[in-house]
Structure 1
Amino acid sequence: MFKPQSISVIIILAAAVALGPLSTDMYLPSLPGLTAVFDTTIDRVQVTLSVYLYGFAFAQLVYGPLADRFGRKPIMLGGLILFIFSSIGCVQSTTIDELIVFRFLQALGACGGQVLARTMVRDIHGPVNAAKALSMMGSIMALAPVIAPIIGGWMILWFEWTSTFIFLTIYGVLITILIVFKVPESLTAENRSSLNPWTILKNFGSLLKNPVFMGYTLSCSFIFSGLFAFLSGAPFVIIDYFGFPAEHSGIFYAIASCGFLTGTIIAQRIGSRVGINGVIKRGSLFAVVAGITMLIPALLNFHNLWLTALTQIIYMIGVGMIMPQAMAGALIPFPKITGTASSLLGFTQSVIAATTGMLVGHYHSGTPTTMAVTIALMGSLSLLCFVLLVKPSISKN
C-alpha cells in the first residue's frame, strides 16, 4: 500500500479520473462512422456523448453522500466494477439504442473515479495544498485526452469501432486492481457523515445557498461546457466539413489537450504567487479571448481548420488553469461534506455540459459556426459567474 501523500497515489487517482475523458475522447474519431454502422443520424450518434454526461451527472448525487458515510474506496470500487461490465455491453451493442443504454451505465460506473479521486485529494492534502495537488493530478490526467484520440483514430483504421471499448474494459480492470492493493482509504472516522435523507438535503441546500461554492461551481461548469461543445462538434467539423481523414483526426484533440496540460502547468507555477482566484482570473481571459477569436471569423463565414485548432488550444489553456483551481475553491470550505460538495459540483458541471452538447448537435449547420458561438458563450459565462459570485463574497471577507 502506498503512503497517502505519495506521488504514486496521485498518479493512480489521476488514472481513475481519466476514465471519464478516455470514455469520450477515444471514440470521437469513430462518431461520423457510427451513422453508417447503425444506419442513424448525426444527432442520434451525439446522444451517446450527451447521455454519458447525464448518467455522470445523476450518479454523482449518489456517490458523494455514500462516500461521506461509508468511505471513498469501497464506493469507488463498486463504480469501477459497473464500468467494466457496461464497457463489455458497449462492445456487444448491435443497435444505437443499445449503445446509448450501455453508455449511460458506463457513465454511472466511471463517475465514481472522478468524484471520489478529487475528494480523496482534498482528504489527504487538506485545504492548503489541495489546489496544488489537483493541478498536479490535472497535469497527469491531461495525458489521457492527448493520447486517447490518436489511439482511437488508428484503432478504427486497424480494427472495428468496438476496439475502443475493449481497451476501456482492460483499462478499468487494471485501475481496479491498483485501487484495491495500492490506495489507502482517505476518510477518517470523525469525518464520516449521516445518510439521513434530511441531512443530505440540508447539506445540498447549504451548498446551493453558498455564493462562493456556486460561483466556483458555475465557473468550472461553463468552462467545461465549452470544451464539451468542441468534443461534440469537432468530429463532424474536422472530418465531414474540412474532410480530414478520421484516422488522423485525433491529432487535433491531442493538440488541444496539450493546451489543457499547458494551463495546468501555468497554474502550478503561478498559483503560490497569485492564489486560486488570480489563476482563475487569468485563465478566464485566455478562454474569452480564444472564444471571441474563434467566433468573429465564423460569423463572417470564414472557416479555416488551423485557425479553429489554434483558438481551441488557447481556450484549453484557460480550461487547464480554471478547472482544478475552481474545484479546489469549491471543496476547500467543506471538510465534513467534501464528497457531497464534489458530487454537486460534478452534477452541475455534467448537466450543463450535456445540455450544451445536445444543443450543438441539434443546431449543427454543417459548418464550425454553431461550435464557435457556443465556445465563446461558455467562456464568457464562466468569467461572469466568477466576477459576480466569487469576487464580491471574497471581498466581504
Structure 2
Amino acid sequence: MHQRPVTLIFPLLLVFYEIATYLSNDMYLPALPAMMKDLGLTAQHAQFTLTTWFIGSASMPMLVGALADRWGRKPILLAGGVIYILSTVICAMTTSVSVLLFARFIQGGMVPFMMVPGYAVIHESYEQKDAVRLLALMGSISVLAPALGPLLGSIVLYFLNWEWIFWLIALWALVAILLLSKWMPETLPAEKREPIHLSLLFKKYGQLCTNKRFMLLMCVLGFIFAGFIAWITAGPLLIIDSFHYSAVTFGLIQAGVFAVYIFANRWVKHLLEKIGMGSLILAGLFVTLSGGVFMLLFALIFPFSLYAFIMSMMIYSFGSGLCFAPLNRLVIEASEVTMGVRVSFFTVMLTSFAALGSGMASLFFDGSLLSLALLISTVIVLAGFFRWLTRSKTAMSMT
C-alpha cells in the first residue's frame, strides 16, 4: 500500500473520463427508437447494441491487468483512451449495422483500459476507510452518467440527430485523456513491474477463481449490478415505446432513479463510522431486496402503473447506493495477488454480470412491467442468496 498525500485531482479526473465511457451507453438510450428507424433495426437488435458493448467490456480486463502490471498504470489507460475515442468516432460516422456493432464492441472493450489501471491506482494509494469513502464519492459522481445521460441525449436529439451524441462523447473523452496525461500518477515503479508469463498469470486467475470469499462477494455485487443494467437496457423501451412517454420524460425518470443512488452514496461515509462495513452492506441489501419485492407485487397488482414501478426502482437504487462501495472494497481485499490482476478480474466479473443483465433484458423483456420486474427481483434474490452463503462460511468475516 503506497502512502501518498491525499489529493482529489486524479480521482476526479478519472471519474470525468469514466463518465465519458458510460455515456456511450446512457446518453444514446433515448436514441434507440430513432436508430431502429434509421438503421432498420428490431427492438431486440437495438438492445443488442448495448449487450455488444458489455461483451466487449467483459472480454478485455484480464489482458489489461497483465499489461498494467507489465508496463505501468498510466500508459495503458492513455492508450485505451485513444482507441476509445477512435471507436466512438466510427459509431458516429457509420451507416452499417455490422460496423456499428463492431465499433460498440471495441468501445466497450476499452472501458477496462480505464477501470483496471485507474482503480488500481486508487486502491494502491489509499487505506481501507479512505478508499471506501473515495469510492463512494466517485460512485456518486460517475452515476451522473446513467442519471443525466438519457436527459442529455434527449436534449441533443431535440436539436440534432443521434450521430451527434457520439461526436460529443468523443470530444468529452479527448479532453479527459489530455488532462489525465498530465495529472495521473504512476503507482507502479519500474522495478516492481512484472513480465508477462502466461502460466503465472493463469495461476493467479486460478487463485481468484478458487477464492470463496472473493467469488461469493463478487456474486453479491454482480447480481445487484445486473439488476441495474437490466433496467438501463429495458427502461427506455418500457417508458418510450410501451407507455408512450417522450425521451425527455424518460431522461427525467432516469435522473430521479440515480439521484436516489447518489443520495445513498453520500450517506456511506457517515454510516461507515457508526455501524461498520458489514452492517452497512446488510442494510443496503435489505433495502434493495425490499425494492425488488415491491416491484414484483406492484407489477402483479397494478400491471399498468408505471409510477409504482418507478418508486420501487428508486428503493432498489437507494439500497444499492448504500452497499456498492463497501462491497467493492471487500472484494478487492479478499485476495493478496497483484493489484492489477485483482482489479482486472474484478472488472471482468462485473462486466460479465452487466452483460448478463443486458442480455437477459434483451431476451425476456416483452414490453410489460411484469417481465422487467421478474428479471430485477430475481437477480436481487440471487444477490441475497450469495450474501447468505458468505455468512454461512466462517471465512466470511466482515468488519
- TM-score, shorter chain, exceeding 0.5: yes
CA contact (8 A) 2:298 2:308 kept: no
CA contact (8 A) 1:221 1:348 kept: yes
CA contact (8 A) 1:123 1:335 kept: no
Aligned counterpart, 1:180: 181
* Residues 80-129 of structure 1: per-residue CA shift (max 9 Å, x gap): 00100000000011022221111111112222112222221101113442
What amino acid sits opposite 1:34 in the alignment?
M
CA contact (8 A) 1:55 1:107 kept: yes
What amino acid sits opposite 2:203 in the alignment?
K
* Residues 185-237 of structure 1: per-residue CA shift (max 9 Å, x gap): 12245653341111111111111111111122111111000000101111111
Shift of 1:272: 2.4
What amino acid sits opposite 1:327 in the alignment?
N
Moved more, 182-191 or 351-360: 182-191
- Alignment partners' CA distance in 2, 1:284 and 1:333: 20
Cα gap change, 1:188 to 1:98, in 2 (>3 Å): same
Q: Which residues of 2 match residues 1-397 of structure 1 at below 5 A?
A: 5-189=6-190, 191-300=192-301, 302-334=303-335, 337-389=338-390, 392=393, 393-395=395-397
- Alignment partners' CA distance in 1, 2:12 and 2:145: 12
* Residues 362-391 of structure 1: per-residue CA shift (max 9 Å, x gap): 222221222111111111111221220366
CA contact (8 A) 1:20 1:111 kept: no
Shift of 1:360: 1.5
1:256 is paired with a residue of what secondary structure?
helix
What amino acid sits opposite 1:307 in the alignment?
A
Shift of 1:143: 2.4
CA contact (8 A) 2:225 2:354 kept: yes
Cα gap change, 1:201 to 1:320, in 2 (>3 Å): same
Provide the TM-score with structure 1 as the length reference. Answer: 0.94
Shift of 1:301: 5.4
- Alignment partners' CA distance in 2, 1:59 and 1:4: 32
Shift of 1:302: 2.0
CA contact (8 A) 1:19 1:113 kept: no
Q: Which runs of 5+ in 1 are unaligned?
A: none
Shift of 1:303: 2.4
Displaced runs of 4 or more, over 6 A: none
CA contact (8 A) 1:155 1:164 kept: yes
Shift of 1:348: 1.5
What amino acid sits opposite 1:108 in the alignment?
G
- Alignment partners' CA distance in 1, 2:57 and 2:26: 15
CA contact (8 A) 1:71 1:192 kept: yes
- Alignment partners' CA distance in 2, 1:390 and 1:199: 32
CA contact (8 A) 2:204 2:337 kept: no
* Residues 3-52 of structure 1: per-residue CA shift (max 9 Å, x gap): 86301222112223223421211011111222111112001011110110
1:244 is paired with a residue of what secondary structure?
coil
Shift of 1:333: 4.4
- Alignment partners' CA distance in 2, 1:103 and 1:94: 13
- Alignment partners' CA distance in 2, 1:391 and 1:22: 39
1:249 is paired with a residue of what secondary structure?
helix
What amino acid sits opposite 1:265 in the alignment?
R
**RMSD (Å), alpha carbons:** 1.9
Cα gap change, 1:67 to 1:390, in 2 (>3 Å): farther
Shift of 1:275: 2.7
Provide the TM-score with structure 2 as the length reference. Answer: 0.94
What amino acid sits opposite 2:245 in the alignment?
F
- Alignment partners' CA distance in 2, 1:128 and 1:190: 28
- Alignment partners' CA distance in 1, 2:78 and 2:256: 32
Q: Which runs of 5+ in 2 are unaligned?
A: none
* Residues 329-359 of structure 1: per-residue CA shift (max 9 Å, x gap): 1112446512211111221221222122122
* Residues 57-76 of structure 1: per-residue CA shift (max 9 Å, x gap): 11111111211222111110
What percent identity do the matched residue pairs reach?
Answer: 25
Cα gap change, 1:291 to 1:194, in 2 (>3 Å): same
- Alignment partners' CA distance in 1, 2:396 and 2:366: 42
- Alignment partners' CA distance in 1, 2:133 and 2:192: 23
Moved more, 133-142 or 77-86: 133-142
- Tell me how many residue pairs correspond in the alignment: 395
- Alignment partners' CA distance in 1, 2:214 and 2:297: 33
Shift of 1:327: 1.4
Cα gap change, 1:156 to 1:18, in 2 (>3 Å): same
- Alignment partners' CA distance in 1, 2:313 and 2:69: 37
- Alignment partners' CA distance in 2, 1:140 and 1:360: 26
Cα gap change, 1:396 to 1:91, in 2 (>3 Å): closer
- Alignment partners' CA distance in 2, 1:174 and 1:202: 38
* Residues 142-196 of structure 1: per-residue CA shift (max 9 Å, x gap): 2232221111011111100011101110011011111101121122456533411
